[in-house]
Structure 1
Amino acid sequence: MHNPQSSTIYPKRPVTKSNPHHENDASHHGHVPVILYVIGLIIYLVALVTSFGTVVSNSLFMLTMLISGYHVITEGVVDTFKESITRKRFHPNVHILMALAALGSSIIGAFDEGALLILIFAGAHFLEEYAEGKSKREITNLLQMNPTEARRLKDNGETEIVSVSDLEIGDQLRVLPGDQIPTDGEITSGSVYIDESAINGESMPREKTVGDEIFGSTVNGDAAFTMTVTKNSEDTVFAKIIALVDQSQSNLSKTATTIKRIEPIYVVSVMIAVPIFILVMPFLSSWDYEESFYRGMIMLVSASPCALAASAVPATLSGISNLAKRGVLFKGGSFLSNLTKVKAVAFDKTGTLTKGKPVVTDTYFIEENRTAEWKQCIVSMEKEANHPLATAILDAFESEISVSTQDITVQNEIGKGLTAQIGGKAYRIGKPALFTHIPDTLASQTEALAKAGKTVVYFSKNDQVVGLIAMMDLPHDNVPSVIDYLKAQGIHTAMITGDAEQTGKAVADLLSIDEVVGNVLPENKSQIIQDLQKEHGETVMIGDGINDAPALVNADIGFAMGDGTDIAIDVADAVIMQNDLTRFQYAHRLSRKLNRVVWQNICFSMFVVVLLITLNLLGQVDIGIGVLAHEGSTIIVILNGLRLLLPLKTN
């Protein structure tokens, strides 16, 4: 019975405790700087529109700088001091340039322009933090979906509310309609529809029944069911997704890391160049020292690398967020950024390129008018079998015939195939090597089918082969378009498989894959990756099994298929949910766009710096216009990066 208090005891989407990565504030310092900023802005406007006299007005402008620029001054001076102590060398940030520019404006009596500088810079900084935080929030809102409680069944059949962290493997849980599934497990009773969009990005609910695997943090539909816990809370698929998200936000792209590394060097260079500029310009121009000092303050603002510093990080986080929503999880921005450099992609065959289960592709019976009768015999026999090909045969034939209710005796002997006595006649299903008298028509067909990479089994009656069934593990429907895309990008494609080379080549021919390496032992896959790297350059490996783990590690970027093994997901650099390779194609396209956006940002930000410095030397810009143009360029760079949150247009 549905518990009427379930909505209060067990919320459908319980919220976890706040975490350091989830920033809802406009500033990472909280709401206080925003309030102070508004107070300072009001004081500035009062000083601007009233006539208090020079001393009072300048005092109000100074108060504006101190109040509105509180967090700018703090980050500029205090953070620089702390970082310098920690690193045992001078390590300034860009905020100290703005603090010094405001101080310099005050020294020459330009209090109003110093206040305007702080207001514009601080306002732009709030917008920058909000924009960067937005892309982070797009990913880290996953943490809000992490379940905290579960209904555990007692021995007497009653339920108790317990913490998810207290669950143990083997516990029986009751999940009510609309509840979040607390952890990974298996359905033991009931049939339901489950919203798995939190895991795989698919909007359509999936039908699940007894024996099916279910995942924590997904949402139950409109029917209650019972489940058995199969994983500890820290080992669930959702826990791994959260770990990926957390790692992706700290692992920046190479470009972003380089920018962060050179920022303090750049700031130091500006701090050295500005005093030299102030001292030298009166000798090189008609400026006096007051004008030279004023122009030096403008140079301090213009040369500040605000836009450059924001060129890569928000764009990279936006790209990671975009992909996370579409079922591709990266462990870091560096892997996404480097994806565009890839020259070769190696695929595991089974489960990655193919569906991982054989289907019947061809059938042939010597006497066509007896096809229905023999198919009925085959279905009756295969219903008693337990080998992997039985399911494929039943899927192909069962709907075509009505199974006889007569008693049959079926034996499944290793090495001898499947045998049965039906109506006093002996029937056998097995591989061709078990049979000696094979009609020529069947032998020639068998040879052609084997060359096409198909597995052939024979069906015999009283030791006479009367038919054959060919099966093959076929590629996923969306794989050909992905291979075509890679070839259009000039990327070499390779298939690495433990299957016979002939079988692998047949699949590769269907997909137009450039290279096939068959009969590969698990320990040799990583060596093949190294060979591809030497011959072609940076190489991606995509796989789903334990045997793919060494190759995933050795590849420049390793992609694990989300339906694969935990070890493959753990060692990979990215995860593709639902084994959908079109998501890899989407990731590659987005990687190319990310690199274009980052370089657009870098070039634009440096162009603005050069333009402002040039106009300053010509005396054509004042400090207010300089700040507005400089910080405006920062906002444009941020907004350009946020375009990567939008879905890519279909090719």
Structure 2
Amino acid sequence: MEKAIENNKETYRLQGLSCTNCAAKFEKNIREIQTVNDVQLNFGASKLTVIGEATIEQLEEAGAFDGIKVLPENQRVKEVKIPFWKKAENKNTMASLIFLIFGYTSMYSFGEAHLATIFIFALSILIGGFDLFKEGLKNLTKLQFDMKTLMTIAIIGAAVIGEWSEGAVVVFLFAVSEALESYSMDKARESIRSLMDIAPKTAFIRRGHQEMELDVEDIKLGDILIIKPGEKLAMDGEVIKGQSSINQAAITGESIPVLKTVGDEVFAGTLNEEGSLEVKVTKLVKDTTISKIIHLVEEAQAERAPSQAFVDKFAKYYTPVIIMIALSIAVVPPLFMGGDWSEWIYRGLAVLVVGCPCALVISTPVAIVTAIGNAAKKGVLIKGGIHLEEAGRLKVIAFDKTGTLTKGTPEVTDIKVLKGQEANDLLGIAMAIEKFSQHPLASAIIRKAEEKGISLNDYKAEDFQSITGKGARALVNNELYYIGSPKLFEEMSHLPSSVEAEIKALQLQGKTVMLVGTDQDIIGMIAVADQVRDSSSKVIRKLLEIGIQKTIMLTGDNQATGQAIAKQVGLSEVKADLLPQDKLETIKSLREQYGKVAMVGDGVNDAPALATATVGIAMGGAGTDTAIETADIALMADDLNKLPYTIELSRRALRIIKENMTFALGLKLLALILIIPGWLTLWMAIFADMGATLIVVFNSLRLLRVKE
């Protein structure tokens, strides 16, 4: 029975989770439930995972102090958006402000010590700070010193020494600060909510001979989706009928529609623009690409970045130190230096208020949540705060060649007739032999022949024989022809110097040369090259402009081909003739030399190098599980254009995190210095705390504006 409880794992979504301190306390309260073995609370995604057993009632009781609502992960609940000013807590804040204004009116009419003035200020304090006191006093009895405890002590202390007006101002400003922090976190979380709303929740399907509308959770593998023009796809699948342009921006970030025909893969959340389609469902709703993206983005936001780990550790020791400083300021001068108790207690209370670590604690998570959410909407999957920070520190980027800098599909670039044949005859003979071959270069020749309208009926090949590593031969129209590398023909008969010169010239352009001929004569040559992506040179130029020190290509191809492509796209260096193991060793060597190195590849054959690099970046994550799993960052589109944006976003996030920590600590330090001459008032202290929090939050939200 105990084993069953241990293995029981439930995930919930949370509503009303307002601050990092509240999240920590909520998690602690859940751990105290006897049947719970472990808890993982994801503040950024507002998500809770409980290992063990706990009812929703128990969980909501654990979060009652902050009014947290707990919902099963798969329960479809339409979140009612309450306008900012209509929320109950914000109504209380407004009422508190009204009484605060009345209190100051009374103070100027009757004086600060008048009972009417004190009563109005006390009402302002109680209305605006009721929830704060309830929680703060409870914490005080348990000796838990969080933000609300510090505020409660400060406000009660202000009332005790007769500073009712200051106490009321502190309550109002603290309530405003809390409301704005909650609003900004909701704004940051919207990026995930918008991802969750991308795919429809129901779909029209055909199962057997029946057509029906079903919830996506009830759709099975093999069901046929019927997609009309203008509709979004609810599931991943394969087109079995029709053709249409599909806008895949939701998954890949690319707004240009892609033509899909029978046999092509399509994704949930993408938009069918024109034709009607029938799609066979190939993945259940929990396994769709968009579901994986949402899950990985949420997990990424839960993972602590190095700077966040530092802040959390710092805050743990910082709060008790602030309490000790405040106590010393309040007690030491009156006891040992003849100071006035009222004045020094007031200064001690001001230290408590200004010392709240709220801005510092939120400085990192709000920036990371915003950046990762923004990236996901642009088709870039960053799998954690640590990878976001590391990408911002990169100095060198290494690229795989095939399929990354190049298209990965070779094309015939040159056909040269040397003796007694037409160009089409040369291509026809080559096609007839290569139709038996599985080599990628063979498919390039066949594609070119088909493009030229050459029919296999005119070139009949028999007695095909592969010559391992060199080429092939066959009888074509009853004559024996060979096709293969220059090495093959060199072994059969000496190559004329003019032919050697032409071969070398083509190879220096990054092309692979195949000769066609008999055992006596060479009749022609065909050059094939993997075409460079149109975007590659522009991307490399942008990377160098934003400060990447070195761009290097790692390829298994020969040095001449590597150099030709490197020159074409503007790379700093080439490492050629590399096996997968050599790529891994090169990455290790680059890390030793430069420190922070990224590897960009397709995520399949580059897995070892991707794993070894500081940051592994996979291209074409949409539909490729390997790419998503092996890389730290996945560019969902099969396109490098997102790479400079990703580096720029990461650098901006790193800069904003540093700015946030500087603001949070700097503003507090300035306020603490003002204590020495006695210039720091309670309302100035709360203003400094609120100011720091708001600067940090709104500074982080600037990451939503980072453009490609």
Output one character per residue of 1:153-191: Cα deviation in whole Å (capped at 9) or x when no partner: 2333x3233343344443333222233222222111101
Distance 1:333 1:275, change over 3 A: same
- Residue 420 of structure 1, CA deviation: 6.8
C-alpha contact (below 8 Å) 1:26/1:130 kept by paired residues: no
How far apart in 1 are the matches of 2:415 and 2:553? Answer: 28
Please tell me whether the aligned partners of residues 152 and 171 of structure 1 are also in contact (alpha carbons under 8 angstroms): yes
**Which runs of structure 2 are paired with 1:477-556 in the superposition (5 Å)?**
477-487=534-544, 489=547, 491-500=549-558, 503-510=561-568, 511-516=570-575, 518-521=577-580, 525-556=583-614
The amino acid that maps onto 1:362 is: D
Q: Name the residue aligned to 1:628.
A: 687
State the match for 1:63 in structure 2: 123
* 1:294 maps to which of 341, 346, 359: 346
Of 33-42 and 189-198, deviating more is 33-42
Partners of 1:474 and 1:238 in 2: CA distance: 31
Native 8 Å contact 1:483 1:512 kept in 2: yes
Q: Contact between 2:392 and 2:652, CA under 8 Å: does it hold in 1?
A: no
Inter-partner Cα distance in structure 2 for 1:94 and 1:368: 90
| CA displacement at 1:129 relative to structure 2 | 2.1
1:145-184 counterparts in 2 under 5 A?
A: 145-156=198-209, 158-184=210-236
Superposed CA deviations along residues 524-553 of structure 1, whole A, max 9, x for unmatched, are 644443333223323222222333223323
Aligned residues: 621
Aligned to 2:409, what secondary structure does the other structure show?
Answer: coil
* Paired residues of 1:26 and 1:126 also in contact (CA < 8 A): no
Query: How far 1:336 moved relative to its partner?
Result: 0.8
Deviation at 1:214, TM superposition (A): 0.8
Give the conservation status (yes or no) of the 8 Å contact 1:97–1:267. no
* Superposed counterparts of 1:289-328, under 5 Å: 289-328=341-380
Deviations 1:399-448 (A, max 9, x none): 5x5546964424565446475746x7776654445543555433332244
User: How far 1:276 moved relative to its partner?
Assistant: 0.7
Alignment of 1:420-431 (within 5 A): 421=476, 429-431=483-485
2-side partners of 1:200 and 1:272: how far apart?
A: 53
- Where 1:130 maps in the other structure, the secondary structure is helix
Q: Where do 1:23-172 residues align within 5 Å?
A: 31-49=87-105, 54-73=114-133, 76=136, 78=138, 92-156=145-209, 158-172=210-224
Shift of residue 338 of structure 1?
A: 1.9
Which residue number corresponds to residue 699 of structure 2? 640
Distance 2:538 2:523 in 1: 39
Residue 560 in structure 1 maps to residue 618 in structure 2: yes
Aligned to 2:244: 192
Which amino acid in structure 1 is aligned with residue 92 of structure 2?
L
SS in structure 1 at match of 2:408: coil
> Which has the larger displacement, 303-312 or 17-26?
17-26
Give the alignment's TM-score, normalised by structure 2: 0.78
CA-based RMSD of the aligned residues comes to 3.5
Query: Map of 1:10-25 to 2, 5 A cutoff?
Result: none
Kindly provide the amino acid, as one letter, of the partner of residue 535 in structure 2: N
Is the alpha carbon distance of 1:469 and 1:398 closer, same or farther for their aligned partners in structure 2, counting shifts above 3 Å? same
Alpha-carbon offset, residue 284 of structure 1: 7.8
Corresponding position of 2:50: none
Contact 1:201 1:327 in 2 (8 A): yes
Task: Please name the residue that 1:603 is paired with.
Answer: 662
**Aligned twin of 2:501:** 444
Which gives a bigger RCO, structure 1 or 2 (Cα 8 Å, sep 6+)?
A: 1
Superposed displacement of residue 68, structure 1: 1.9
| Structure 2 residue runs without a partner (length 5+) | 1-72
> Mean alpha-carbon deviation: is it higher for 225-234 or for 200-209?
225-234
Aligned with 1:477: secondary structure? coil
1:353 aligns with 2:405: yes
Deviation for aligned residue 1:26: 8.6
- Identity %, equivalent residues: 32
3-state DSSP class of the match of 2:665? helix
SS of match in other structure, 1:619: coil
Please tell me whether the aligned partners of residues 442 and 468 of structure 1 are also in contact (alpha carbons under 8 angstroms).
no
Unaligned runs of at least 5 residues, structure 1: 1-15, 85-89
SS at match of 2:179: helix
User: Is residue 205–residue 226 contact of structure 2 (8 Å, CA) maintained in 1?
Assistant: yes
Q: CA deviation at 1:127?
A: 0.8
Give how far 1:359 is off. 2.1
For 2:369, give the aligned amino acid: L
Alignment partner of 2:414 out of 343, 349, 362: 362
- 2-side partners of 1:604 and 1:237: how far apart? 39
Q: Residue 263 of structure 1: CA displacement?
A: 1.6
**Kindly tell me: are residues 284 and 357 of structure 1, through their superposed partners in 2, closer, same or farther at Cα, counting changes over 3 Å?**
farther
Q: Does 1:471 align with 2:528?
A: yes
Aligned counterpart, 2:57: none
1:61, 1:599 → 2: CA distance?
39
State how far apart, in whole Å, the 1-side matches of 2:77 and 2:359 are: 25
| Partner SS state of residue 598, structure 2 | strand
SS in 2 for 1:531: helix
Q: Does 1:584 align with 2:643?
A: yes
Residue 509 of structure 1, CA deviation: 4.6
SS at match of 1:355: strand
What amino acid maps onto 2:165 in structure 1?
D
Give the 3-state SS of the residue equivalent to 1:616 in structure 2. Answer: coil
What's the secondary structure of 2:356's corresponding residue? coil
SS in 1 for 2:93: helix
Alpha-carbon spacing, 1:79–1:207, altered in 2? closer, same or farther (3 Å)? farther
1:237 to 289, 309, 313: 289
Q: Cα gap change, 1:430/1:159 in structure 2, threshold over 3 Å: closer, same or farther?
A: farther
Aligned AA (2:181): E
Structure 1 counterpart of 2:596, one-letter code: E
1:384 to 1:517, Cα distance in 2 relative to 1, 3 A: closer
- Please report the TM-score for the alignment, with normalisation by the length of structure 1: 0.84
Q: Is the 8 A contact 2:158 2:166 kept in 1?
A: yes
- Give distance in 1, aligned partners of 2:162 and 2:449: 92
What is the one-letter code of the residue matched to 1:37?
T
Structure 1 contact 360–392 (Cα < 8 Å) conserved: yes
CA separation of 1:635 and 1:246: change in aligned 2, threshold 3 A: same
Contact 1:425 1:462 in 2 (8 A): no
- Larger mean Cα displacement after TM superposition, 621-630 or 133-142: 621-630
CA distance in 1, matches of 2:349, 2:368: 33
Q: Whole-Å Cα distance in 1 between the matches of residues 399 and 646 of structure 2?
A: 16
| Residues 350, 361 of structure 1: alpha-carbon distance in 2 compared, 3 angstrom cutoff | same
Counterpart of 1:455 in structure 2 is 512
The verdict on how the C-alpha distance between 1:345 and 1:18 changes in structure 2, with shifts beyond 3 A counting, is farther
Q: 1:439 to 1:626 in 2, by over 3 A?
A: same
